[in-house]
């Protein structure tokens, strides 16, 4: 394995391009496939191509985007939609908290970090946490801008293209595309859960979501999230207490 | 406008807070664990709804086929040592095979 010290003098543009190249990887490819799924989902829900592309650039977090599309499709009120999206995006905070110190040097301007934080979502975060160690500290923000910028622009393009061709696809292919999003979430969410409580919360949410969808369709996600999360947290406290006793 | 308020503002507030709090708050604090379990359950609820109550072309497939494809895809993901590509490909293959065989 090469160390970065050998080319620590490489110019900034080189590190930006290396970040761009890092985006073209298996995680990047999986992300593209799930954005294909998202575009199929959004189109199906009556969201326009411009809205979907705009959402990709501004929200840039698939679970939040799917929640938002669901809210638009079910005609939810703005406060309810905002609350559900806010709750779905909370997990971004600890991710940024872990990443920001990796990129911060004494000279890094604060606004650069706030700007780059917008690129944080599961894929770019996983790529960065894995590769930033091999990038010289003062080039890390540049490298991450390469990864994040490439992923965002690529997927805005992907969403636009899918909207253009979706109508021409056979129904089996459309069905397969719509299956991409839940499978992507199912695997990535399980893999990113840090403690067992996360896995418990996930199983509870999988069951409670459809249950509350039938009972309380307007606020199903919120209720499932609050109840599932609290129960998983309660079980964790109880287990810690049993172990301590 | 709806997207900007309910989407952009609602997500980036957490990213900004993350930069601001970076290093000040422990990742293992109890409050953060609760917040994470709630967020996880909410996203899992989204997954459940997408599989149980899908839209579009996926709505024309049978409930049993969708559940079987997703469940076996997830098993393949775990069995392959948490390789997402394996899990996703398995579920997609089973779904398409099931549709082809008219399940």
What mean pLDDT is predicted for residues A158-186? 88
* Interface touch B88/A61, C-beta < 8 Å: no
Calculate the alpha carbon distances from A222 to A75, B24, B28, B39 in Å: 15, 29, 24, 9
Chain B residues lying within 8 Å of A86, measured CB to CB: 10-11, 13-14
Q: Which residue of A has its CA nearest to B34?
A: A233
Q: What is the pLDDT of residues A77-134, one digit of tens each?
A: 788 888 888 888 887 887 788 788 788 887 888 889 888 999 998 788 878 877 888 8
Per-residue tokens: A131:
């590769």
pLDDT level of residue A142 (50, 70, 90 thresholds): very high
Q: Is the ipTM of this complex over 0.90?
A: no
Tokens of A117: 């934080």
Segment B82-103 mean pLDDT: 91
pLDDT classification of A2: cutoffs 50, 70, 90? very low
Which residue of A lies nearest to B72 if distances are taken between CA atoms? Answer: A183
C-alpha A219: how far from chain center:
22
pLDDT at B35: 79
Question: Which chain A residue is nearest to residue B45, measuring alpha carbons?
Answer: A209
Give alpha helix (H) positions in A47-132.
49-58, 62-73, 78-89, 92-103, 110-117, 122-131
Alpha-carbon gap: B14 to the closest alpha carbon of chain A (Å)? 5
Q: Which CA distances in Å does A79 have to A19, A84, A92, A133, A222? A: 38, 9, 20, 41, 12
Higher local confidence (pLDDT), A206 or B3: A206
The fraction of chain A above a pLDDT of 90, given in percent, is 33
| pLDDT, greater one: B83 or B22 | B83
| A168 in contact with B, Cβ within 8 Å | no
This prediction's pTM: 0.78
- Determine the pLDDT at residue A3: 47
Mean predicted confidence (pLDDT) in A57-70: 89
Report how far residue A80's alpha carbon sits from residue A192's, in angstroms, rounded to the nearest whole number.
27
Q: Give A124 or B36, the one with higher predicted confidence.
A: A124
Question: Does residue A42 sit at the B interface (CB-CB below 8 Å)?
Answer: no
Angle at A87 between CA B3 and CA A114, to 5 degrees: 70
Q: Is residue A15 a contact partner of residue A142, using CB atoms and an 8 Å limit?
A: yes
CB A45 within 8 A of CB B55: yes
C-alpha span between A62 and B16 (Å, rounded):
18
Q: Is the predicted pLDDT of residue A4 greater than 70, yes or no?
A: no
Band of residue A155 on the pLDDT scale cut at 50, 70, 90: very high
Interchain CB contact of A86 with B (< 8 Å):
yes
Q: With a cut of 60, say whether residue A58 has pLDDT above it.
A: yes
Predicted confidence at residue A188, as pLDDT, reads 83
**What is the C-alpha to C-alpha distance for residues A241 and A83, in angstroms, rounded to an integer?**
32
In the numeric block, the tokens 């939040």 are attached to: A64
Judging contacts by C-beta atoms under 8 Å, the chain A residues touching residue B33 are: 195, 197, 233, 236
Mean pLDDT of A220-224: 84
What's B8's DSSP letter?
I
Provide the pLDDT for residue A7: 65
List CB contacts of B80: < 8 A, sequence separation 6 or more.
B86, B87
Closest residue of chain A to B100, computed from CA coordinates: A172
Q: How far is A72 from chain B (nearest CA, A)?
A: 9
- What is the tens place of the pLDDT at every residue in B56-69? 788 889 999 999 99
Maximum Cα interatomic distance, chain A, rounded to a whole number of Å: 63
From the list A27, A10, A30, the residue with the least C-alpha distance to A18 is: A10
Q: Which of B10, B21, B73 has the CB atom closest to A183's CB atom? A: B73
Give residue A8's pLDDT.
66
What is the band of B103 on the pLDDT scale with cuts at 50, 70, 90? low
CB contact under 8 A, A198 and B19: no
What's the Cα-to-Cα distance from A192 to each of A5, A113, A126, A200, A210, rounded to whole Å? 31, 23, 9, 13, 23
Residues of chain B contacting A167 with CB distance shorter than 8 Å:
none
- Is residue A59 within 8 angstroms of chain B, CB to CB? yes
């Amino acid at each position: 394995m090469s160390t970065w010290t050998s080319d620590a003098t490489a110019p900034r543009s080189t590190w930006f391009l290396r970040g761009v190249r890092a985006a073209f990887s298996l995680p990047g490819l999986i992300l593209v496939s799930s954005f294909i799924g998202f575009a199929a989902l959004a189109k199906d829900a009556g969201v326009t191509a411009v809205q979907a592309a705009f959402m990709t650039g501004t929200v840039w977090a698939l679970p939040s985007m799917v929640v938002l599309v669901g809210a638009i499709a079910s005609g939810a009120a703005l406060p309810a939609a905002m609350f559900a999206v806010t709750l779905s995006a909370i997990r971004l905070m600890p991710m940024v908290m872990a990443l920001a110190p990796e990129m911060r040097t004494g000279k890094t301007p604060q606004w650069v970090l706030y700007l780059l934080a917008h690129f944080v979502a599961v894929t770019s975060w996983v790529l960065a946490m894995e590769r930033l160690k091999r990038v010289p500290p003062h080039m890390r923000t540049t490298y991450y801008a390469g990864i994040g910028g490439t992923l965002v622009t690529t997927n805005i393009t992907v969403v636009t293209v899918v909207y253009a061709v979706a109508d021409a696809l056979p129904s089996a292919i459309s069905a397969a595309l719509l299956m991409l999003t839940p499978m992507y979430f199912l695997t990535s969410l399980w893999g990113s859960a840090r403690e067992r409580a996360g896995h418990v919360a996930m199983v509870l949410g999988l069951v409670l979501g459809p249950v509350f969808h039938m009972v309380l369709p307007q606020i199903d996600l919120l209720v499932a999230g609050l109840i599932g999360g609290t129960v998983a947290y309660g079980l964790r406290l109880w287990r810690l207490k049993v172990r301590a006793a | 406008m709806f997207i900007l308020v309910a989407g952009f503002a609602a997500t980036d507030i957490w990213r900004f807070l993350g930069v601001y709090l970076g290093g000040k708050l422990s990742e293992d604090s109890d409050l953060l664990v609760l917040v994470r379990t709630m967020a996880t359950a909410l996203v899992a609820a989204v997954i459940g709804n997408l599989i149980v109550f899908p839209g579009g072309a996926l709505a024309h497939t049978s409930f049993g086929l969708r559940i079987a494809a997703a469940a076996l895809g997830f098993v393949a993901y775990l069995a392959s040592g948490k390789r997402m590509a394996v899990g996703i490909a398995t579920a997609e293959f089973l779904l398409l095979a099931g549709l082809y065989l008219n399940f």
